[in-house]
A and B are shown apart, each in its own frame.
Chain A
Amino acid sequence: MIKVQNISKTYQDVDRQVTVFKDLSFDLNAGETVALMGQSGSGKSTLLHLLGGFDTVSSGDIIVNDANITTMNDNQLSLFRRNQLGMIFQQYNIIPSLTALDNITFVRRLIGLPAVDEDTEQLIDVLGLRDRLDHYPAQLSGGEQQRVATARALAAKPSMILADEPTGNLDEETAAQVMELLVKAVELNAVTLLLVTHSQTTANYLQSTWRLKKGVLHC
C-alpha cells in the first residue's frame, strides 16, 4: 500500500525554479499495476524517483507500507530499498562486473536469502535467461540486459516495482516479451507495479493507466 500525500517537487536552479508538480496525492494498493504516461518532461521519472527514495520531495509525505520514506535516514532508506523495492531503469543499470546470475541474485544475497530458490529458478526460466547466466553485461544484448534488470527487480520479492520506460530501448517484439514476463511475474507475487511508458501497447498490459499533465495526475 502506497500513500502519496500532497507531494511537491521543485528544482531550484541558480537563476530559476522549476516546479514539476505541486500537491500531488494518490494511493496505490498492493498488487495494483499502473502505467504512468505523459509528455516528455512532465515529471514521470521524477515521481518514480521520489517513490523509490532516490530523490527528495520538496514537501509532502510518501508512505509505503505504513512507513514514511520522506523522513527516513540513509540506513532506513537502504533497508527499504533492499527489502521492499525493485527498480528498473531505462538504461538497465546492472552491475558490469558481475555475471547475469550474480546480478539477479545480488539483492537476495544482500538480504541474506539463499542466492537461488525455486522461485528464482522459475523467474530465470520465465525470463529466458537460463543460457545467459554466466555472461557479463557487456556480453548481453540490450533486451537481455533489460531482462536481467527485470529479474533482479523481482528476485528479492519486493512489495513494489518501479519501472522507468523499461521497454523504451527495445524493439516491439522484445518489448512485448519483456512486458509479458514482467506482468506474469508481478501477478504471481502480487507486487505493486508503477511503470512509466510512452507506448499504449505497453500500457495495455497493466490494470490501469494514469496520465501526468502539467503537474496534475489524471487517474
Chain B
Amino acid sequence: MLKPSLLQRVLLIWWTLFGHYRKHPAQGLFLLLGLSLGVAILLGTLIVSSVAKTSFTNAQQIVGGSVIATIQPVNGKRNLPQSTYTSLRRNGFTNLIPMAEGRLKLKDGGFISLQGIDAFALAHSTSGDNATQTQGIGGFGQADFSMLAFSFPPYQTLISKSQAKQRNLKDGDILTLANGKTLPAIKVVSDSLGTGYSLMCDLACAQQMLSLPGHLTSIAVTKQPDDVEQLKALLSEDTELRFPSKTAQNAALSDAFFLNLTAVSFLAFLVGCFIAFNAVRFSVRQRLNMVQQLRLVGVTFGEIAMALMIELLSWALLASFIGCLLGWLIASALLPDVGLTLVRLFQGQNPLFIEQMTHWWPLALMVALTATLIATAQPFWQLAKEQPLQSRQIAQSKSQMGYAGIALLALGGLLTLMPHSQSLGFVIAACWFIGGAMLVPATLVYLYGVLANNKRLVNYPKLQWVVTDGKQNHGRFSVAMMAFTVAISAGIAVTTMVSSFRVALEDYLEQALAEDLYLQPDIEQVIDIKAFLDQRQDVALAYRYFYTSGAISTTSKIDNSVKGLVRGVTDHQLRHDSISLEKQVDNLWPRFHMGEGILINQTLAFQQQLKPGDKLSIKAKARWIEVEVLGIYYSYGSTFSAFSMDQNWLKILWPAVNTVEIGVFLNDGQSIEPLLNTLQDRFKVQSHQSIKPQEMKKIALTLFEQTFMVTQVMILFTLLIAAIGIYCACYAAELDKQRQLTLLKVLGVNNREIAGLSMLQLCFNAIVASLIALPLGIIIAWASVHIVLQYSFGWHFAIQIEASTLSIIIISAVMVALLSGLLPLYQLSRKTVINAFREAV
C-alpha cells in the first residue's frame, strides 16, 4: 500500500476536524456570520464615511465652498465689465469664475434668483492641484464634467432637488419670465451639487435674461491668489476684492466630523473582531476533544496546524468575500442619494463612485483577511498545540485579567494628566475600551463569588447552582460578555459622539446664522439704511456689526501678547441668544455691557489656559486695559483667537473702526421679502449685498440632515451588528452550558425551572456587563471629544448624554442576550436527557 502523502494526511485531518461543522451546521453558520459581519461593518462604515465626506463637503459649498473671495462692484455700481475678468486672466489669475446673478420676476408673479456661470471657467478653476478634493463652485468636482452640459446647446437651467420640489418643477419644464422670455429647460440636479437656492444657467444666458450684456455682477475667486496686492492693483476703483464674512463653511467642523466617523469605523472594526474572535474561539473550544483524540492516535502538531491553516484560510476567504459584498450592499442601500445604487453603478452613471469602488476593493480584501487572521489565529494556535492528555480545563486566570483591566483603566486615567495630543487621545480611549472589557469577566466572577459566600444560599439549591456555576464556569461566557461589553460601549460611544456633534452643529449654525437678513451695503448708505431699518415695524433689531483686530495678554506676561479678532456685541437679547456659551460667570450680561470684562472663544481660552473669572489685558489706545474673562463661547472649530466685548466700548477703544455690515432680526412671523424689495427699490441694494442667513441655514441643515441620516442609519447598523454579535456570542456560550443544565434535569429539575435558572444567569451577566459598558461608552466618547478633538482642532463640543437613547440601547442589548438563550433552551427541552448528554459538548 502506498504511504499517503503529507497533503493527503493533512486533508484527511482537515476533513475530520471539519466534521464538527457538518454535525453542528449552526456553529459553522455563526462563525461565518460573525466573520463576515465584522468585515461588512468595517467596510460599510468606511464606504459610508467616504461618501458622506464628499456629500458633507458638498453641503458646505452652497454658502461659499471653495469660493474664498469675490470681486464686486462698489461705489454704487451694480455690475462690472466683463473685460475686468479677461484682463485678470491675461495677467495670470486663473482661479476665477465670472458670474452674473440677480433676481427675476416670473410670469406667475414669483421670484427666482438666477446665477449665470461660465462653464469653461468653472471647469478650469476647479481642475487645480488636488482635484479630487477641490470642489468648485456649486460643488462641481472634476469627475462631473458631464454636468457642464448646461452650458452647451440645448442649454439647461439647473435646479437642486429640494428647490425643485419646493417650486414644483421637474426635468424639461420651461420657466417663463414676466417679460415673456423663457429660460432653458429645467434640469433637476442633486442637492449635493450645491446650486443652493439659485437656479443656475450659462453665463451668456443669464446676462441676456438679466439684461447685462458684457457685464458681470461679480467674479468668484476660488483659490488664494499668489499676490493679492497685484490683483487688487489690477482692479478699477469701482471694483473691490472682498472676503466673505458670513458663511456656513467651517473646515474644522467637518474635519471633526470625519474624525468622528473614523472613530465609528474603528469601534465597529473592534466589535467585528470581537464577534469573529468569539465565534472562532467557541468552534475551537468545542473541538479540543477531537484534537486530543487525533493527537492520541499519533497525528503530529505540524499536521494539525496545517489542517487548521487550511480551514482558517478558507473561512477567511469566504468571510471576506461575503463581508465585502454585504458591506457594499449596506452602503449602497444607505446611500441611494449619493449615487451609490447598484443600478446606477452598473450603468456607469457615476464614474466618481466607480473610481472609489475600485479603490476600495483591494483594500477591503486586505483588511478583511487581516481582521480574520487576527480573530482566528490565536484560538487555532491554542487548538493546534493541544497536548495529547493535557487537562481540558483551560487555565483560568480571570483575576489576573481583572487586574490587567484595572491597570489599563488606571493607565488611561493617568495619561489624561499628560500633555495631550491627538494620538494620546486615541491611546487613552483604547486603554479604557480594552481595560473595561477585560474587567467584565473578573467582575462577574467576583460578584458570583460574593454571592456564593452567602450562607443562606444553601436553602435555595437552584439559586445556589446559578451562582456557583456562574462563578466556576465563567470561561464559557467571559469572551461572550467581553464582546457584549465592547459592542454596547461602542454603540454608546458612537451614539453619544454623533448626537453631541449634531447638537454642536445646530448650535453653530444657530450662532453663525442667527439673523434674518445680513446686509453689506456700500459704505455711504450704511447710516441711512440703519436708520431706515430702525423705523420699520417688522424689524426687531438692526445692528451694525463692528469688529477689529486686537491684542490681548494674560496679566502675568504683558509682553506675551496674542492677536485676536475683537467683536462688538450690542446690548440686546437677540444678540445674546446667538452666542453659545460653554462657561460663564453669574450676572454675565449686565457686567459685560458695563465694560467689566469680555467673552473669549474656546480657542483663546485653550491657548492661554483661561477660565471665567481670570484677568487679562487688552491693548487699545496704546495701553493695556485689565479686564475679566466673563465667559467662554464655543468656537466650533475656528482656529482663530477671538473675543467679544460690548459694542459701544469697542467703538470707544477703537474709534477709527467702521463697518458696512448690518445684521437684521425680524419680529416673529414677519416675512423677509417685503423688506428686501423695499431695500432694493429704495437703496438699490443688490442681491450679492444681502444674505439671507435663515435660507442658508435651511439649505445647510437639509444637506447636513442627509449626512446625519446616513450616519444615524450606520449607527443603527452598528448596533444591529452588535446585537447579532451578542446573539452569536451568547448562543455559543449557552450551548456550552447544556451539559450543566442536563445534569440538573437528571436530578429532577424541570424544563421550566431550568429555563428560568439559565435566563437568570444570562440576565445577571448581561446586566453587569451593561453596567460596566455604560460608563465605559460615555468616557470613551468623552475622551474622543475632549482629548482627540480638543487637541486636533483646538475646540470641543459639549457631550450630550441622551438618557433615553442609552437606556434603549442597554435594554435592547440585554433583551438580545436573553433572546440568544431561548433557542438553546428550547432545543434542550425538546431533547431526551440522554440525547442532551450525547450532544452536549
Contacts and interface: CB of A to CB of B under 8 A. Distances in A.
Contacts of B471: 97
A56 interface: yes
A81 B471 CA distance: 27
B277 to A, nearest CB: 26
Interface stretch (A101-109, A190-198, A206-214): A101-109
Contacts of B464: 98, 102
A14 interface: no
B672 to A, nearest CB: 74
A102 B461 CA distance: 8
Contact of B459 (A52, A87, A96, A109): A109
A54 B746 contact: yes
26 contacts: A55-B832, A55-B833, A74-B750, A74-B751, A75-B750, A78-B748, A81-B746, A81-B747, A82-B749, A85-B748, A95-B465, A95-B740, A97-B468, A97-B471, A97-B472, A97-B473, A97-B740, A98-B465, A102-B461, A102-B464, A102-B468, A105-B461, A107-B748, A109-B459, A110-B461, A110-B747
Nearest to A106: B461
B636 to A, nearest CB: 56
A87 B746 contact: yes
B297 interface: no
Contacts of A54: 746, 832-834
Given A78-B750, A97-B473, A98-B464, A115 B834 contact: no
Contacts of B833: 49, 52-55
Contact of B469 (A77, A80, A81, A97): A97
A96 B473 CA distance: 9
A152 B743 CA distance: 13
Contact of A55 (B461, B465, B751, B834): B834
B738 to A, nearest CB: 13
A174 interface: no
Interface in A50-109: 52-56, 74-75, 77-83, 85, 87, 93-98, 102, 105-107, 109
Interface in B101-116: none
Nearest to A110: B461
Of B740, B743, B752, most buried by chain A (CB within 10 Å of CB) is B743
A130 B267 CA distance: 54
A155 B459 CA distance: 16
Contacts of B832: 49, 54-56
A138 interface: yes
B458 A79 contact: no
Interface in B709-745: 740, 743-745
Contact of A115 (B458, B751, B752): B458
Interface of A: 49, 52-56, 74-75, 77-83, 85, 87, 93-98, 102, 105-107, 109-110, 115, 136, 138, 152
A86 B746 CA distance: 9
B420 interface: no
Given A75-B752, A81-B746, 20 more contacts: A55-B834, A74-B829, A75-B750, A78-B745, A78-B749, A82-B748, A82-B749, A93-B746, A95-B743, A96-B473, A96-B740, A97-B472, A97-B473, A98-B464, A98-B465, A98-B468, A102-B461, A102-B468, A110-B748, A136-B472
Interface in B679-733: none
A81 B458 contact: no
B748 A83 contact: yes
A93 B743 CA distance: 7
Nearest to A108: B461
Nearest to A48: B834
Q: Is the interface of A mostly helix, strand, loop or mixed?
A: helix
Given A74-B829, A95-B740, A102 B458 contact: yes
Interface in B455-492: 458-459, 461-462, 464-465, 468-469, 471-473
Contacts of B472: 96-97, 136
Contacts, number: 82
Contacts of A80: 748
Contact of A49 (B743, B748, B834): B834
Contacts of B753: 78
B607 interface: no
Contacts of A85: 748
Nearest to A158: B748
Interface of B: 393, 458-459, 461-462, 464-465, 468-469, 471-473, 740, 743-753, 829, 832-835
A75 B753 CA distance: 9
- 5 tightest CB-CB pairs across the interface, nearest first? A82-B748, A78-B750, A81-B748, A54-B833, A97-B468
Nearest to A91: B837
Contacts of A136: 472
B721 to A, nearest CB: 33
A116 B464 CA distance: 16
B458 A109 contact: yes
Nearest to A114: B459
A8 to B, nearest CB: 16
A49 to B, nearest CB: 5
B346 to A, nearest CB: 45
Of B459, B472, B747, most buried by chain A (CB within 10 Å of CB) is B747
B289 to A, nearest CB: 14
Given A54-B833, A56-B832, A107 B747 contact: yes
B782 to A, nearest CB: 39
Nearest to B832: A55
B749 A110 contact: yes
Of A83, A94, A97, A109, most buried by chain B (CB within 10 Å of CB) is A97
Contacts of B745: 78
A115 B458 CA distance: 8
Nearest to A116: B458
Contact of A138 (B393, B465, B748, B752): B393
Of B459, B462, B471, B834, most buried by chain A (CB within 10 Å of CB) is B834
Contacts of B468: 97-98, 102
Nearest to A82: B748
Contacts of A152: 747
A110 B465 CA distance: 11
Contacts of A94: 743
Nearest to A136: B472
A15 to B, nearest CB: 16
B795 to A, nearest CB: 54
B509 to A, nearest CB: 59
Given A55-B832, A78-B748, A109 B465 contact: no
